[in-house]
Amino acid sequence: MDSTQLMEDEDEEHEHEHDHGRKMEWAGSETHLGGIPRKIAFMAIGSLSKLLASSLNSTSVQNPQTLLHLVRSRPPGVPLITVSNHISVLDDPLIWGFPGFPSMDSNLGRWVLAAKDICFTNNFSSYFFRIGKCIPITRGGGIYQEHMNEALEKLDTGAWLHIFPEGIVSQEDAPIRRLKWGTASLIVRAKIKPIVLPIFHRGFEQVMPQSAPYGRRPLLPLCNKKIRIIVGEPIEFDLPKMRQMATTSQSHSTSLGWPTTPDGLDEATQTCLYSTISDQIRTAMESLRALGGNDERV
C-alpha cells in the first residue's frame, strides 16, 4: 500500500468535520411532490445535454450498447456503479447526452456524487441538484461520512450510481490520478456486489475549459468540438479472495477511526482491500485512456 496515500487519507479524515445529517434528502425522494420536480429537471437537463453533446458538438461513443444494456436491463436489484475520469464541470450531465441514451428518463437516470462545496452552497442550488438525483459529498470528509452512507443505501436498492473516483477536475492530458477509496468502500459494503463499469471520455475539456482561451472559464459551453466516449466492460472483482489477501498481507498500522465492517474487516484490512480494488479500477480506466490517446483534437 502507498504510505503517502494512507497519510493523505488520514489527514483528510481529520481535517474536515463529518456531516451529521443529510442535506435536503427529502427533495431527492421519488415521492417528493409526486416525482414531478424530478421529471421536469431530467426533461430540462436531459434536453440541454442532448443539444450540447449531440447537436452543437460532435459526440462519438465506443461500445455504447454495454452501458445501455446495464442501465435498462441489468438483473433486478443488482446495483450499477459507473466510474469515469473528470475533465470539466459539465462532464455530468453532458456525458449522458449522446444519441440513443435515455437522458430525459428520471427513472433510469443515475445518482451521482457531487461536491457539496460547489453544488450545494445554498437552498436553491441544493434543491435543484437534489431533484436531479445528486448526493452531496464533503470532499475530504471520509468514506464513512453520512452522505456516503446515503449512497450505499441507494446501491442497496439496486440503483445506478456514477462516481468520479479521482475526486478532482483535471484537464491535463495525463494518466489517471490515484483514486480515492470511497468507490472501493461502496463496492465492499454493498449488500449485493455492484456491477462496476469504467468509462473514459475526451473533449469536454474543450467544451468547458477551465481557463483558455479567455484566461478564465467561459460563461457558456463552447461549440463545434469533438467528444469521444469510450465505454469499457464490467470489471471483475474476486472479493472473497481479495478479502483473504488483505487480511493476510496488511502491513500498516492505521488510525483513521473507521469502524469494523459487519463481516469483520478491521481498519487495517479495509485500507489494504480498498487500495487493491482502487488500483484495479484505475488500471481499467487507464486502459480505456490508452484506447483514446491518439484521437484527433479540435
pLDDT for the residue 131: 98
Q: For residues 64 and 199, is the Cβ–Cβ distance under 8 A?
A: no
Within 8 A by CB and 6+ apart from 99, the residues are: 50, 54, 59
* Strand, helix or coil for residue 248: helix
164-217 residue pLDDT tens: 999 999 999 999 999 999 999 999 999 999 999 999 999 999 999 987 666 778
**Within a domain: 225:** yes
**Within a domain: 145:** yes
* Strand, helix or coil for residue 251: coil
pLDDT for the residue 292: 78
151 closest CA partner among 177, 200, 185, 118: 185
Query: Into how many domains does the chain fold?
Result: 1
**Within a domain: 12:** no
Within 8 A by CB and 6+ apart from 128, the residues are: 41
**Within a domain: 286:** no
**Within a domain: 31:** yes
**CATH code at 119?**
3.40.1130.10
Label residue 152 left, alpha or beta by phi (over 0 means left) and psi (-120 to 50 means alpha): alpha
In whole angstroms, give the CA distance from residue 136 to residue 120: 7
pLDDT for the residue 212: 64
**Within a domain: 288:** no
**Which alpha helices (DSSP H) does 146-266 contain, by range?**
146-156, 182-189, 204-207, 239-249
**Within a domain: 58:** yes
In whole angstroms, give the CA distance from residue 284 to residue 183: 14
Q: What are the start-end ranges of the E strands in the chain?
A: 58-62, 80-84, 111-115, 134-137, 160-163, 195-202, 226-231
pLDDT for the residue 11: 41
- Residue span of the structural domain in which 187 resides: 22-237
Listed as ranges, residues in the chain with pLDDT below 70 are 1-20, 212-214, 250-254, 293-298
